[in-house]
Structure 1
Amino acid sequence: MEYRVKDRVPEVAGLLSIISLALVFGAALGAIPKSLLPRAPAWVLSVIPFVNAIISGLAILTIGAGWYWIRGGRIARHRAAMLTSVVLFAVFLTLYLYKVALQGPTPFTGPAAIRQFAYLPLLAIHITLAIICVPLLYYVLLLAMTRPIQEIPQTRHPTIGRIAASLWLVSFTLGIVVYLLLYVVY
C-alpha cells in the first residue's frame, strides 16, 4: 500500500511535531550533552539574544506581510513571506536552543514582584504559544506544499493558517518583551 504525505498530512505533522518538540525539550532540559555541540566564542553566545530579537521582529513583519498579501489574493507573495517566516523561526529556534544547551536559561535579575507577576506569566504564554504553533505550522505547511494552489482554499489551510499566524504573532511579540525584560530593562 502506497502512503503519500498528501494523504497523511495530520499524521506527518504530528510526527514532525513530536520529533521537533523532543529536540527542543532535550536542549532546554540539558538532555543533549554539551560535548556534542561545537563551542562558539563567548561573544557569539552573548549576541544570540539580540540577534533573536531582530529575527523575531523580522518574523512579525513577514507574517503580517503574508497575511496582507493572501487577503489581496497575491498567493506567490504570501507563500514567499510565510516560507521566510518559517525559515526565520527555524534560525531563531536553532540559535536559542544552541545557547540554552550550552549555558542554560538566562536568569531574570529584576525585582521579585516583576518576575512573579509580569516576567513569568509573559514567558509562560510565549512558550505555550510557541509549542502550540509547532504542529499548526507543520500542518499548514504540509497542506500548502502537497497540493496544487487551486486546491488549498478547499482544505483547512486557510482556517488553521489564520489561527497559527495569530498565535505566532503573539508569541514572537511576547518573545521580544521577554528579551527586553531580560537584557535591556533589567
Structure 2
Amino acid sequence: MATADASGALARVRRHPKATVAVVSVIGYVAVIGTFAGVFPIFPELTKGQVNLLSHAIAVVNTVATASLALGWYWIRQNEVRRHAAAMVTSFALILVFLVLYLLKVGGGPGEKQILIESTMFLGAYAGTVKAAYLGMLAIHIFLSVVSVPVVLYAITLAATHSVEELRSETPHRKVGRIAAGSWLLSLSLGVVTYVLLNWVYTYEFVQVSY
C-alpha cells in the first residue's frame, strides 16, 4: 500500500511539476518570512555565542554545497550523468541543512518581539568602497537566494520524476538547470564571501531593537 501511494504521489508530481514547485516554494517562503516576523515561537532562545557558532556552521555547509554544485556542473559537461546527479542531490540536501540552521539562527537569535541587526564596522582609507562592495554582494546574494528557489525546485522536480532520456528529450531540464545552477552557485559564493568579510576580515556588533 505504501509503495502504491508513493508511486501515485510521484505520478501526480510528474504530471504537475509547476504546481508542485509553486506549493513547496510558498511553504518555504512562509517558513522564512514567518520566522523573521516571529510568528513561529518554536525555536529555543540562543546566546550570542550560539548564534556565532551557527553562522560558522552555515558557512561550512554553503562552502561544501558550492563545491558540490561546481562539480555537478563540470560533470554534466563531461556527460558523467550519474556523478552529476549525485552532486546535485548532495547540494540540495546541504541546502536543506542550511535552511534548518538558518531558521534556527533567525528564530532563536532575537529575543521576543525584537530583531537582530548585524552592523558591519568597516575601517580604513577605503572603508566606503569596501562597505559598498559588501552591501552590493549581500543584496545580490539575498535576491538570488529568493528568486532561485522555484527555479532550483523545478529542476530538481523534473530530475526526480523523469529518466535521463526523458529529461533530454521531453523536458526543459537542461535549460532550467543551467539557470538554476548558475544563480544558485553565484548566490552561495557571494554568501560565503560576505561571511568571510563580516566574520574574519572586518568586525560586527549585535544591536537589538524592539518593534
Does 2:37 match 1:37? Answer: no
Partner of 2:105: 99
Partner of 1:169: 185
Q: Percent identity, aligned pairs only?
A: 37
SS of 1:31's partner is: coil
Conserved 8 A contact 2:36-2:107: yes
SS of 2:200's partner is: helix
Which of 12, 17, 27 is the equivalent residue of 1:19? 27
Q: Which has the larger radius of gyration?
A: 2
The TM-score, its normalising length taken from structure 2, stands at: 0.79
Counterpart-to-counterpart distance in 2, 1:45 and 1:116: 23
Does 2:120 match 1:109? Answer: yes
Partner of 1:151: 166
Q: Quick one: which amino acid aligns to residue 23 of structure 1? A: A
Deviation at 1:106, TM superposition (A): 4.5
Conserved 8 A contact 1:66-1:82: yes
Q: Quick one: which amino acid aligns to residue 26 of structure 1? A: G
Q: Quick one: which amino acid aligns to residue 100 of structure 1? A: V
Conserved 8 A contact 1:108-1:115: no
Deviation at 1:119, TM superposition (A): 2.8
Counterpart-to-counterpart distance in 2, 1:120 and 1:82: 29
**Unpaired runs of 5+ in structure 1?**
none
C-alpha offsets along residues 116-170 of structure 1, whole Å, 9 cap, x if unaligned? 6233222111011011111011101110111122101121111010111111111
Partner of 2:136: 121
Counterpart-to-counterpart distance in 2, 1:119 and 1:29: 25
Deviation at 1:64, TM superposition (A): 0.8
Superposition CA RMSD, Å: 2.1
Call closer, same or farther: CA 1:177–1:21 in 2, change over 3 Å. same
Call closer, same or farther: CA 1:106–1:52 in 2, change over 3 Å. farther
Conserved 8 A contact 2:18-2:154: yes
Q: Quick one: which amino acid aligns to residue 189 of structure 2? A: T
Counterpart-to-counterpart distance in 1, 2:198 and 2:119: 6
C-alpha offsets along residues 37-71 of structure 1, whole Å, 9 cap, x if unaligned? 24567644321111111111111110011111111
Counterpart-to-counterpart distance in 1, 2:128 and 2:46: 35
- Taking the TM superposition and a 5 Å limit, the aligned residue runs for 1:36-75 are 36-39=42-45, 43-75=49-81
- Tell me which protein shows more strand as a share of its residues: 2
Conserved 8 A contact 1:108-1:182: no
Deviation at 1:113, TM superposition (A): 3.4
- Tell me which protein shows more helix as a share of its residues: 1
List structure 1 runs of 4+ shifted beyond 4 angstroms: 39-43
